[in-house]
């Protein structure tokens, strides 16, 4: 008896469930801001939610199902020909036990066993195209799987090769990961690939914690009635996200705002150039969400903690200082041995022939 993997099992059909209302989440303004801006502008580079268990990370991500904007999606029509229809983005959840073949794509094992032929099949990354890919406990995922996901997120495509057979699939998606730092950290290379980082801290106020309990109990007793209380606000927020996505291509970043953002990055001695991409794209998304076509310094200041958190590297700073010291020593040695380095003599141009 063979156990055959079914890639469709990785798709989280959120329409079959009733998610907790996004706006019913108590507190956590930073997390809500980061997630909604990612829906507005996936070019931010995704969001990493870091916090202990039980603070609402997964609940918040799944709650985005009510806010998903409409996108153009090709589907087979009645005559078998592709038809373009408007459909909401979906949330694709990746389980912790996902294999590299499941994520990237590979041979359809059922067809190979039953029909004795080779058929390359798309993986989770291809199914996540133009959707939101959510990875819970990303710090526990196999390193090769994480690398493949981040490479696809950066390149917008995934390449499958099995022997002489190759397939290229588009894979442009909004990426959201979550983790509990008690179970280990992420490699710096992986951490750098996330545009925004959110520390989802436990709420400290007693009234807020009690309100979480009360709302959770109400939702469990009657999900439909509880969701109806927030339906109007959710509808308004969904409309605002859709409007911001339409406005985003027209949002400009003035030179003085660019200088302000780069000055902050350089003051923090952040080595990765992804810092300015996340910071300025996040600022553009915030301006669009505020129905503006020009970003301001206030947009940069709001996004800076999210985009620049955990991007400094003491190891890189130490290494750069060591290289500068070695270069200075080499220059000093050159001066001691041979004096000031003579400027290279120019070759005289050849005289024109008579």
Catalytic residues: 274
Beta strands in the chain (DSSP E): 47-50, 70-76, 82-88, 91-94, 105-107, 120-122, 132-135, 157-162, 165-170, 174-179, 196-199
Q: Which two tokens stand for residue 3?
A: 């156990």
290: part of which helix (H) or strand (E)? Answer: none
Contact 294, 256 (CB under 8 A): no
| 324 phi/psi in degrees, rounded to 5 | -65, -40
Radius of gyration, CA atoms only, the chain: 26
Q: What is the DSSP string of 148-196?
A: HHHHHHHHTEEEEEETTEEEEEE---EEEEEE-GGG----HHHHHT-SE
Rounded Cα–Cα distance for residues 239 and 15 (Å): 19
Q: Which two tokens stand for residue 271?
A: 């080595």
Torsion-angle region of 347 (φ positive above 0: left; ψ -120 to 50: alpha; else: beta): beta
């Amino acid at each position: 008896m063979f156990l055959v993997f079914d890639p469709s099992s990785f798709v989280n059909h959120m329409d079959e469930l009733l998610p907790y209302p996004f706006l019913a989440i108590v507190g956590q303004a930073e997390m809500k801001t980061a997630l909604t801006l990612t829906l507005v502008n996936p070019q931010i580079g995704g969001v990493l939610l870091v916090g202990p268990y039980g603070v609402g990370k997964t609940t918040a991500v799944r709650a985005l199902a009510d806010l998903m904007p409409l996108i153009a999606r090709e589907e087979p029509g009645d005559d078998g020909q592709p038809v373009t229809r408007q459909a909401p983005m979906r949330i694709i959840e990746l389980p912790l036990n996902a294999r590299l073949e499941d994520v990237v794509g590979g041979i359809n094992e059922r067809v190979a066993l039953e029909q004795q032929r080779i058929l390359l099949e798309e993986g989770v990354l291809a199914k996540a195209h133009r959707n939101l890919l959510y990875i819970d406990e990303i710090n526990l995922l196999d390193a090769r799987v994480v690398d493949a996901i981040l490479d696809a997120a950066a390149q917008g495509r995934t390449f499958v090769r099995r022997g002489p057979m190759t397939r290229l699939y588009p894979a442009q998606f909004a990426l959201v990961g979550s983790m509990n730092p008690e179970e280990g950290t992420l490699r710096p290379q992986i951490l750098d690939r996330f545009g925004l980082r959110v520390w989802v801290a436990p709420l400290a106020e007693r009234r807020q914690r009690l309100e979480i309990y009360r709302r959770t109990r109400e939702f469990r007793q009657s999900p439909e009635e509880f969701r109806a209380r927030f339906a109007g606000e959710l509808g308004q927020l969904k409309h605002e996200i859709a409007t911001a996505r339409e406005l985003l291509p027209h949002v400009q970043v003035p030179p003085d705002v660019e200088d302000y953002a780069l000055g902050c990055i350089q003051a923090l001695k952040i080595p990765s150039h992804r810092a300015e991409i996340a910071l300025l794209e996040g600022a553009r998304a915030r301006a669009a969400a505020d129905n503006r076509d020009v970003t301001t310094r206030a947009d940069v200041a709001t996004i800076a903690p999210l985009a620049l958190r955990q991007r400094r590297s003491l190891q890189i700073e130490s290494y750069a200082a060591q290289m500068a010291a070695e270069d200075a020593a080499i220059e000093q040695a050159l001066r001691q041995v041979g004096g000031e380095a003579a400027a290279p003599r120019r070759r005289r141009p050849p005289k024109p022939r008579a």
